[in-house]
Every structure is written in structure tokens, then in C-alpha cells.
Structure 1
Amino acid sequence: MREMEPLAERLRPRSLDEVLGQPHLTGPKGLLRRMLEAKRLSSMVLFGPPGTGKTTLAQILAEGVGKPFLRLSAVEAGVKEVRAVVERARREGGLVLFLDEVHRFNRTQQDALLPHLESGLLTLIGATAENPAFELTPALRSRLRFFPLRPLSEEDLLALLKKALTDPRGLPGTSFEEEALRLLAQAAGGDARFALNTLELAASLGRVDASSVKEALGAERFAMDREGDQFYDLVSALHKSLRGNHVDASLYYLARLLKAGADPLYLARRLIRVAVEDVGLADPLALRLAVAAKEAYEALGSPEGELALVEATVYLALAPKSNSLYTAWKKAEEAAGAHPHAPVPLNLRNAPTGLQRALGHGKGYAYYHEDKEGSFAQRYLPEGVEDLLLFEATGEGWEERVRERLKALRERFRRS
């Protein structure tokens, strides 16, 4: 029965106008809205944190273009299930396949989708909380558009909770305190599903006040909000303590987060980010250790695996620091945006066909291992950006050696 469904399901938006928190996609100029208005739906991946509306948007899009909607989980489905979907699509003249946890499909499973996306028989809407670029094959990525979803703001969640207490589909007539709703909106961390389901539990305790919300959140979840500290504040404090070389503060914030029920794998991913963003080439082993800590936790679980996160935290806090990679990449993105169509020098172009060779592709390319002097004398950057300098090494740790080599290489290019 409808009333037995969870509150989050009963209040699931039925149109783009009801979707909160994603105006870049659903607003007047949002790409998803423009797709619906044109009745032309492209295959895509919706990626973002839990509770941001990935499934909801997929259903709205399918209904908006008048196509049958089928939902599968990549955790459970395989090539056999994909074939069954294809047969159904042939019978029905096409359908929208919503594939949750799409990043879990292996290469063979992804390849099974390709011809049917190419023909238009299937329109794929994948959903994932991970970065899809790391797991999806280039062939599948080339057939998809990628749309990031953002965590809902505290104000969006507050509006959603108030709607839940007045909408006939929700909990109309429930007594509530404004501050209790704000407390829940803060604790939900941008997750609409968690906020609504916690509200329903709090309402079942009699009325929605600070006491019932805290009880519904649970002691471990609410521990992150004692004394006004929010989850992302604690994560920020951990990251900045690591960056600032304060090992004791780093361990303290890690302990608070774990004790408060934070996802250890989320924290492991944050440690990997510190390794590449703040340690970088000052200590190249930091990335290897951070990745190993994540893998160790996945193998051991809690509480044993948490010690691997502790080891990575101490190592990262004590490691020399450099943001040269982060800075260079930002500059590279800006340069690529400013010169998106600068032609690749002919000597660097691929030349697999006779026509391309006749056009000069690959002509004059000097292979470094056979012609070092010629390699330094040839052009690498397009015309107009020949003097682009993006990477600058610092004097921290191993980057002192990198800086000396970089200086020597640039001098050699200059002379040539």
C-alpha cells in the first residue's frame, strides 16, 4: 500500500519543477530541461552523492519523453540481464534503462551495451556516487553525457522537510519545532533521502522536536553535530591539519570522524586526495601508501582496517608538501579552455594512413631514444602557445631533484 512506502518514496518529485538542489540541470537553461522540452533524451551518467535525486531524475526524464523505464542494479545484473533488456526494447520499440551503480559494470558488460546505445534502441541513464571517468571504458564514455549532481543545501533540505509535514503524501498535521528541522537539515549532509527517512522516524516518536530528532539520528550520527561541529567542518579540519603538517590535530579529527560514524572509505578517499593535492611530488610514495590504506580497509573492515587509515594519516601529516601538481593542472585547464582548437604540430600527429602521411602528419618527428638532440629541437606545443609554462617544482622533499631536472630540460629546449 502507498502509505506503507517510506516517506522519501512517497514524496519523490514527479516533475523537474519539484526537484530541489540541481538548478544547473533542471532550471530554465538546464540541459536536462532542454532535453525534455525537445523530447530528445541522450544516454548519460548522473553522478553525485547519495540522496541527490539520480533515480528521480531518471524516472522523470523517461516519462517526459514517453519511453518505457526499466531499472537495474549493476551490482546484480550481468550480460544475461542486458540481453533480456535488449529483447524487451526490441518488442517495445526502445526503452530507457536506468543502471544504478553503473561503475560496477566490467568491460565485457559495458561492451554489451555499446551497439544498442549506438543504434538508439537503448537510452542508458547510469547513476553512481563514484567518479565515472575512472571505471567506464573510453568506448562507453564516448557515447554518454555526464551530469554532476550536488549535495542539497541546508535551505533546500529545510524546505523539503517542511513540505513533508504539510503535503498530503507526507506527514500532514505532525507537530514540529523549526529548530528541530534545521538540526536535521544540518545533520543530513546534503542527503534528501536520509533527511526524509529520519524525519519519519522522529515523527513516529510523537512529535518532531530536538529530542526526537537526536534520537532518530542516533548517538553515533549525531556525535558529529555536538557543539555545532558539522561533518564537512570536521573533514575540512582534517584536510587542513594534514596540509599544515600537524600530526596530532590530524589524528584527533580522524578519530572524531570515525567515532561519529563517518564512512571510513570516504575518509580513505580524502587521504588519497591529500596525497595528490598537497603532498604531490614532494613525496611520490604518499599516493601509493594512501591507496594501499584504502585497499587495506576494504580487506579488513572495521575496526582492524582503521589502523591503515591511521598509518596513512600520520605519514601524510609528516610528509613534505607541494601543490605543484594541483597548480599546474589548474593552469593547464585554463590554457586548454583559452586555446581549445589550437592545431597539434604536424610532427606530433598520428599517421596510420597514406593520406595522413601525404598531408605531412608525423613528418620530421624525432624519436627521443634514437635522436635526443632532434627531440629537443622539435615543436611540441601548438602555434600561439609555444611559450606556455605550466609546471613549477618547489624545493620540498623529492621535488628539489625535480626542480633541478626541470631547469636543465627547459634550458636545453631553449638552446635548441
Structure 2
Amino acid sequence: MADSEPVQSDLFGFSASSGSGERFRPLAERMRPRTLDDIMGQDHLVGRDAPLRRFLASGQFPSMIFWGPPGSGKTTLAGICASSLQFGFEKLSAIDSGVKEVRKALENAEKARRRGVRTMLFIDEIHRFNKAQQDTLLHAIEEGLVVLVGATTENPSFEVNAALLSRAQVYILNPLGDREIEAVINHALTSDTVLSALSVVLEDPDFLVRFSAGDARKALNALEAAIALVSECGQKSVVLTRKIFEQALQYRAPVYDKGGEVHYDTVSAFIKSMRGSDPDAALFWLARMIEGGEDPKFIARRMVIFASEDVGNADPYALTLAVSVFHAVELIGMPEARINLAQGVTYLAGAPKSNASYQAMNAALSESPSLRSFPVPMQLRNAPTKFMKNLGYGGGYRYPHDYPGHFVEESYFPEGVEPRIYYHPGDEGRERFIRERLAGLWQGRY
């Protein structure tokens, strides 16, 4: 007896006539959009003449990566596209899948191809795959075995390797706006087979909208939990107050919105506390960001910038430490990465401060457009070939290591440009030594 072919599912793997079993599915699943027209908040991708709609119309669907926050519709959109194209749908989660699972999915795709069916391989949280796991996909994409659709909440340029990015177009999904979340909630209350049988009154609908933070799934899960908390068998109406939501969710929303004004205000307070050499205040704002669900890698990146912008050469080790913190956060992950962040924050806040390098770069950039027409002096040019040396490239260059103190006074500016002083080292920390050394070398300039 021949081996049976694998059955590839689509995202909507149940019958519309599944009867009473439908009511036991989570509300977010029951309300999952079925067509592009049902998708909210992504008109730039699914609206008239938008890329995904045109791909479906042409039947030519390339590999791509959906980058967007939770609940923005990444998984749903992939399922709709696969269903519309009549592709097989292999779904993996990078959280609990590895090379073995990827290879099994590719084997299924090969069997489907022999039946004349193309396969979409959907990988949720693709940023969690390491380089080796991502590399297993390359050959299958190149030979057309699968159309890859990856979903990620993280910036693909940081988390997806370059080889995979070059084979997959990145499309950004936006968090849903307040009106769209309201529409999702109202649609559930009026159209869902279970909820439409109830009279549900939201006493504070804005609370649910704010709580969801642009995440439709989060809004629907919260609505379902609140109704389950207060509804009784045979009850025909419920009133949902803010207190009921807080009881159902065991949650008091922190005053922190990762994409809004409070987000930027909190980051600003965090940076200014470190700049002001107050490690305790910096830890206070760090804790608020962590509690509010801020991406720890975003925090670490801000610390790397701070190390150069605000500590600079007053303590050159600060940059090394900040970069190490970033790598530790990548390696360890939360919640333990909070310890790495705390170490970095306390060091940066306690370090001597200088913004001289930052100011110097800005000063140089401000003059660069007016001075860009001046050519590089011949003695400073690179001369990798004999022909270029014969043209005078590098001629007359004095090699500092051949002189006492490894220094020779030389003009390194273009001919006709008076030497500028962009960098003004201060008196703090290591920068005092740098200033004294430069003053001894360049008499009259420092």
C-alpha cells in the first residue's frame, strides 16, 4: 500500500458548517479575516493597486517578510494569500521549530509539487531562527520549491541574515489605529455567532482600545475574557466596566505606550538621567520601560549611542561596555537581560561625560558641503599600483612612525583649506590626557 501524501492545511482549517464546535474556538480565531477586503489597517498592502492585491491578481507571488507588531495581521494575511492562490500552506513557528521541522516542511512541499501544487512556507517569529536555520531555506527559495513568507516583530535588517533578505521583499504592517480597533470590537459584538446572541455594553470602550495598543487579537482576547468573567448561563446581557476588565485580565495598564508620546518621553527621561550622572533615576526609567514591554534591544542600542555621544573619550571603555551589553541582551534575552542592562546603565551614568566627539562630528558635517570640491592632496592619496605611484599618488608623504614621538607636523587638509579645529577635548577623564597630548603636538591649535 502506497504511503499517503501529507495533507497541507490552510490557515482556516475548519468547515463553516462545523456546528457547535465553532463556539468553542477562541473569539480571535472566529473573527479572523477571510479575504483581503476584511483586512483592516493595511491599505498600503491590500488596497486597490497595492502590492499584495496585484500579486494575487497576477498569480506571481514572491517570497517576502512581513514586519509588524503583534496582532497586526501577519499570519492572517499569509493564510489569505495562500488560500487565494490555492497554495499548500506549511506553517512553522520559529519558537518551537528547528532545522528538522524545516526539512520536513520542505519534503511535504516537494511531494505537493509532484502533484502540481505550489507551497507557501509560513514561518512565524522568523527572527528567532539562527543563521544556520535561516540558511536551510535559501536553496528551496532559489529553486522555487516554496514561496517563503516570514513574520517578525523585529527589524529584519538586524535579525534576518543578508542572504535571506536579498531573496525576500520586506513589507511593513502597521499597528491598527484606534478606529480600526473599535471596528474590530464592534464587528465581533454584532457578527460573532456567540456574542451576537448577547447584549454587550462597554461602559468604557476607550479603555479596551488603549489596552490593545493596536493589537486586534489582544483586544478580542480581552473582550472574551471579560465576558466570560461576568456572564452566566442563560444571561442575555452584560455590562463591561473598566473594573471588570482589570479583574479579568489581572492587569493595571502602566502609563507606557511603546509607539506614542509617552514612549518617547520615557526614553528621553532615561537618556537625560544618564547624561545627568544619576544612576538611580536612570534605573527608575529603565524599569518603567521594561515593565511597559519595551524591546530590550532598543534600549541597548540607545545606550551604545549614548556611550559615544555623551561619554565619548572621557571614558573610551564606555563604548566597549555598551556594545557588550547589546550583545549580551541578544544572547541572553529577557528577563535575565535586565541585569546586563542595569550594569550598563549604572556604568554609563557614573562615567565622566564629554560630548566633544559628537560636537566635532556635527561641526565637520556642517562644513563638508562647502569644502567637498577640494581634492585629496597627492601625498595623502592611496597608491596601490606602480602606475599610480608614477602619477605622483602618495608622493612626498611623511610616515609619522619614522619620526621621534611617532609624529611629524604635516597638513592633512586639502590644499587651500586652512586647518580647522572641530574637536575640542575637555578636562574630564581620559579626554584631559588627549587634550594635553594634542596641545603638545599641535602647538597653537589646542
3-state SS of 2:56 partner = helix
Question: Structure 2 CA distance, aligned partners of 1:5 and 1:153?
Answer: 26
Q: TM-score, normalised by structure 1?
A: 0.70
Cα RMSD (Å):
4.0
Contact 1:73–1:99 (8 Å) recurs in 2: yes
The equivalent of 2:264 in structure 1 is 236
- Inter-CA distance 89–394: structure 2 relative to 1 (3 Å threshold): farther
Contact 1:275–1:286 (8 Å) recurs in 2: no
Question: Structure 2 CA distance, aligned partners of 1:216 and 1:22?
Answer: 30
Which runs of no fewer than 5 residues in structure 2 stay unpaired?
A: 1-20, 231-238, 370-384, 398-421, 439-446
- Inter-CA distance 38–252: structure 2 relative to 1 (3 Å threshold): same
- One-letter identity of the residue aligned with 1:313: V
Check if 1:262 corresponds to 2:292: yes
Runs of 4 or more above 6 Å deviation: 362-366, 392-402
1:25 corresponds to which of 45, 49, 52:
45
Question: Structure 2 CA distance, aligned partners of 1:364 and 1:315?
Answer: 52
Deviation at 1:399, TM superposition (A): 9.5
The equivalent of 1:175 in structure 2 is 200
The equivalent of 1:289 in structure 2 is 321
Check if 1:127 corresponds to 2:151: yes
Q: Point out the more displaced range, 135-144 or 247-256.
A: 247-256
Alignment of 1:217-366 (within 5 A): 217-219=249-251, 222-225=252-255, 230=257, 232-244=260-272, 245-246=275-276, 247=278, 249-258=281-290, 261-263=291-293, 266-281=294-309, 283=312, 285-293=317-325, 295=328, 299=332, 302=335, 306-317=338-349, 320=353
Identity of aligned residues (%): 35
Contact 1:99–1:127 (8 Å) recurs in 2: yes
Deviation at 1:279, TM superposition (A): 4.6
Deviation at 1:276, TM superposition (A): 4.2
Check if 1:204 corresponds to 2:204: no
Check if 1:102 corresponds to 2:150: no
Which runs of no fewer than 5 residues in structure 1 stay unpaired?
A: 336-361, 375-391, 406-416
- One-letter identity of the residue aligned with 1:262: G
Deviation at 1:311, TM superposition (A): 3.4
Check if 1:85 corresponds to 2:117: no
| Count of paired positions | 347
- One-letter identity of the residue aligned with 1:250: A
The equivalent of 1:112 in structure 2 is 136
Question: Structure 1 CA distance, aligned partners of 2:249 and 2:23?
Answer: 22
Question: Structure 1 CA distance, aligned partners of 2:47 and 2:350?
Answer: 46
3-state SS of 2:201 partner = coil
Deviation at 1:13, TM superposition (A): 0.9
Q: Rg: which structure is higher?
A: 2
Deviation at 1:85, TM superposition (A): 2.4
Deviation at 1:155, TM superposition (A): 2.2
- Inter-CA distance 300–40: structure 2 relative to 1 (3 Å threshold): closer
3-state SS of 1:92 partner = helix
3-state SS of 1:190 partner = coil
Deviation at 1:139, TM superposition (A): 2.3
- Inter-CA distance 305–104: structure 2 relative to 1 (3 Å threshold): closer
Deviation at 1:129, TM superposition (A): 1.4
